[in-house]
Amino acid sequence: MPVLNVSRFLSFVMFMVVAASLTSYAVSEEKASIQFSEHLIAGDYAYAYGIAAADFDQDGDLDLSSADYTPHNKLYLFENDGKGSFKKHVIQKEDPERLERHLVGDVDNDGDLDIVIVKNLHGHLLWFENSGSPTDGKLWKRHVITTQLPGAYDVALADFNNDGHLDVAGSSWILGNQYAWFENSGDPENGEWKKHLIEGDVRETRTMRAADFDGDGDADLLGTARGIDQTAWYENTQTDEGVTWTKHIIDDKSNCPVHGNPVDMDGDGDLDVVLALGFLYLPGSTDKTDSQNPEDSQVVWYENDNPRGGPWKKHIIKKNFDDAFEATASDLDGDGDVDVVATTWRNPGRVAWFENTGDPKENWKIHLLKEDWRSANQVIVADMNGDGKPDIIACAERGSVEVRWWRNEGRPTK
């Protein structure tokens, strides 16, 4: 959750002028191969953080879920008419504090898509059950996975022990400083799930994503720990005693890793990692975990060549991308290679996409989608209007408090 406590917020205000003087806001913009049109999905949030795209009502198009925390304390489902027009449904309410990041999967194996979500601060992981009629006006049934993940922050979903049931892994921000996974017994509606600690005493865990990094057919985990400048993957090994995890360093030299995703960036058949670095950028801050250098704020990708041999080779897509918060990737322009989308939180808050010109190791072109969008945070890519072209959806919390999507209009007509 990208929120400052009071003392750090005051520090942020004090150093904004300094930050502005040290950081160039000029973006080297080049003519884009494709065009996007911007659309507001919803505004007037208390705090917009946490979105996911999925076909919740099984009508063949992608809907959108979105979290809205105190004092609204709600979870929304935006029903898609198939063309990118959305009808808002409240599927959870009066769930105080911080419903935030979430993922979608069939938790109870009944053929429809449920939502697994963190409840930050309280230390809860929850799942909300899709009845099969998700837009009937009724609240989705609420289930507790655990109340023992202090500062619950991010989630990953996979069948970690290969028993046919979807398990959950989570990170825990500064209150818990740990990664853990929670075992789905096959009866997820009844009782808390068994907790298995992956690693404890890891300061400020952020990203948690499942992917098969070593190509052995099981689900490994990607984790970032902003407080100790560490990006790592955890190798899943099945033993007679259960699942064991071995940590492999991807990068422990770059400052303030935050959010990223597994993706095959170079087309060689294995999963690399695209990532945002540099959040929070607070020059002069006494908190040593904060970034002091504008060059820390980067969008990068790490090459999976010898995954256990780390660190992985780092390729910089963009430096000085102020307060870079999250990065994800997709072939946006349909040319057969993978492009990147990223957000910056403050200084001043942006959404941009980075065009892969054929060699992902160099010569990226930046295309700005939105500037002065304060507190931009999570960003995802999904085809929201069913035209076969990936669109971009992002949310922004304090200062903007809204969710927007950028429709991919394709290549301009001559």
The C-alpha atoms of residue 279 and residue 204 are separated, in whole angstroms, by 12
13 DSSP assignment: H
Number of domains in the chain: 1
Structural domain includes residue 14: no
> Does residue 146 lie in a domain region?
yes
Domain-located, residue 12? no
Q: Is the pLDDT of residue 8 over 80?
A: no
Paired tokens of 404: 């927007």
Residue 278, pLDDT > 70, answer yes
Q: Which residues contact 336 (CB under 8 A, 6 or more apart)?
A: none
300 has pLDDT over 70? yes
Average pLDDT over residues 321-343: 97
Chain-centroid distance, C-alpha 262: 11
18 inside domain: no
pLDDT grade, residue 20 (50/70/90)? very low
Average pLDDT score over residue span 407-413: 93
Q: Which of 251, 381, 250, 377 is nearest to 324 (CA)?
A: 377
- Which residues are bridge partners to 353 per DSSP? 341, 367
For 42, the domain range is 35-409
Q: How far is CA 288 from CA 1, 125, 178, 253, 333, in A?
A: 19, 30, 20, 14, 40
For residue 15, being part of any structural domain is answered with: no
Domain assignment present for residue 9? The answer is no
333: number of Cβ within 10 Å? 20
Residue 349 lies in a domain: yes
Q: Distance (Å, rounded) from C-alpha 367 to C-alpha 29?
A: 6
For residue 27, tell me if it sits in a domain: no
Please report how many Cα atoms fall inside a 13 Å half-sphere around the Cα of residue 210, on the Cβ side: 21
Q: What is the mean pLDDT of the chain?
A: 92
Other beta carbons within 10 Å of 244: 13
Distance, CA of 249 to chain centre: 20
Tell me the mean pLDDT in the region 141-165. Answer: 97
Under 8 Å between Cβ of 254 and 298 = yes
Supply 400's token pair. Answer: 């903007």
pLDDT in tens, 120-150: 988 999 999 999 999 999 999 999 999 999 9
Q: What is the CATH number of the domain that holds 204?
A: 2.130.10.10
Phi first, then psi: what are they for 77, rounded to 5°? Answer: -120, 120
pTM, two decimals, is: 0.92
